Amino acid sequence: MLAVLGLLHVYIGLRLLPDLSIGITGQAIGALLLVASWALIPSVLRRSRRGGADALLWTALIAMGLFSSLFVFTLLRDLSLLIAALIVPTELTNKVQNVTAWIVVGAAVFATAIGYLNARRVARVVHVDVPIPDLPAALHGFSIAQISDIHVGPTIRRNYVEGIVAAVNGLEADAIAITGDLVDGSVRELASHVAPLAQLRAKYGTFFVTGNHEYYSGERAWTNELRRLGMRVLMNEHVVVDHGDARLVIAGVTDYSAHHFDPVNRSDPAVALADAPTDAGAKILLAHQPRSAPAAAAAGFDLQLSGHTHGGQFWPWNFFVRFQQPFTAGLDRLGSLWIYTSRGTGYWGPPKRFGAPSEITRIRLVCA
């Protein structure tokens, strides 16, 4: 991986630096910056899972996001230059190469800067109505505030979480759902930064399901800690909510990949719904990964709330998520099952969101 990363940095340098017309000194500085980027990025993987934050890690994460955009835009530039070679007069070739090289650098810096601002702000609220056939009148308007993929860790700390809590509480939802990937780091390192979630308030409480990152970070310790904070952790199980004269089932499964870490925790929507009342007005499943949808549909759920994808987090990776997950973002349908996939409330890795905004989602059940 280090060799491949190095070759990609070399590619960027060879394709951009000579065409920027910045002289030998400028090219040397550019080359040193690329070498620094190549050296810093691997440190992210080694340091970020420890949960600690420092200036070097922040620099490495920002460099990671900038490198991604530089690589993509450089590749697109080369494809454009191949086409331009067929139609641009020879005498203009050097000018085109110079201008497009500066466009690549400017676009990468712009995407990284705007992406940083988007990532660091409190996520905006997205309002979604989900029509449920034969929904009892008492459940019309029942609301769930969904947050997902916060990734409390090296760059997402207590003040960031406090902003999310304030925004969610302002929705005055009937229930709150946290659909996994809450943390990147151990309880010892991050407990104080997650603690504000104890202030979440909803009529029927806060429900949590594990994501794959909980298993990277010590799932059992985190499950115990979140229960201590007052959340209901759903591990292939359900609760029945009595709302007016109607009943609602809220179920949750462990992460789709949980069995790779603990065979006992294999995700199973059918088990989560076992012995649920047959007269429930709606059956909702919390499942971190959208890939749980086929099993959820077969089990008889009406709505699945998921996350995991981040909506791709920043362009152009939003176009590639669909190769790993059946749904990328927003409301989709699989047979009689509705699936809502959150773009996530935080971010993972680079503090960068470009073309895939973070969200706090207010789901409202309505009569079909």
Burial readout 347-361 (b: 16 or more C-beta within 10 A, e: otherwise): bbbbbbbbbbbbbbb
Mean pLDDT value of segment 96-113: 94
21-46 b/e with 16+ CB inside 10 Å = b?
A: eeeeeebeebeeebeebbebbebbee
pLDDT grade for 242, boundaries at 50, 70 and 90: very high
Of residues 147 and 43, which shows the higher confidence score? 147
Write down the pLDDT at residue 40: 87
Report whether pLDDT(51) > 60.
no
Q: Residue 231 has which token pair?
A: 């959340």
Q: Is 90 exceeded by the pLDDT of residue 55?
A: no
* pLDDT band per the 50, 70, 90 thresholds, residue 50: low
So what's the pLDDT on residue 230?
Answer: 96
When pLDDT is averaged across residues 223-232 and rounded to a whole number, the result is: 97
> What is the band of 46 on the pLDDT scale with cuts at 50, 70, 90?
low
pLDDT for position 74: 96
E strand intervals along 3-162? 124-132, 143-147
- More confident position, 60 or 148: 148
Stated as kind and residue range, the H or E segment containing 257 is: none
Confidence band for 113, pLDDT divided at 50, 70 and 90: very high
What tokens does 150 get?
Answer: 């916060």
Nearest to 57 by CA among 354, 350, 353: 350
> Above pLDDT 70, what percent of the chain?
96
Q: What is the pLDDT of residues 251-293, one digit of tens each?
A: 999 999 999 999 999 999 999 999 999 999 999 999 999 999 9
Angle at alpha carbon of residue 234, lines to 120 and 221, rounded to 5°: 70
- Residues 14-31 have a mean pLDDT of 92
| pLDDT exceeds 60 at position 52 | no
The predicted-structure confidence for 127-146, as pLDDT tens digits, reads as follows 999 999 999 999 999 999 99
What is the model's pLDDT at position 91?
65
Q: Of the candidates 232, 235, 183, 233, which has an alpha carbon nearest to the alpha carbon of residue 212?
A: 183
Which of the residue ranges 23-37, 78-92, 98-112, 326-340 would you say has the lowest mean pLDDT? 78-92
Average of per-residue pLDDT across 193-208: 97
Radius of gyration of the chain (CA): 23
Average pLDDT, the chain: 93
Residue 103 scores a pLDDT above 80: yes
In DSSP terms, 55 is beta-bridged to none
Band of the pLDDT at 57, cuts 50, 70, 90? confident
Q: pLDDT class for 319, splitting at 50, 70, 90?
A: confident
Q: For the residues 211-215, what does the mean pLDDT come to?
A: 96
| Choice among 79-88, 153-162, 218-227 with the minimum mean pLDDT | 79-88
Phi, psi of 26 (to 5 degrees): -60, -40
Domains in the chain and their CATH numbers? Answer: 2-120 (no CATH), 125-367 (3.60.21.10)
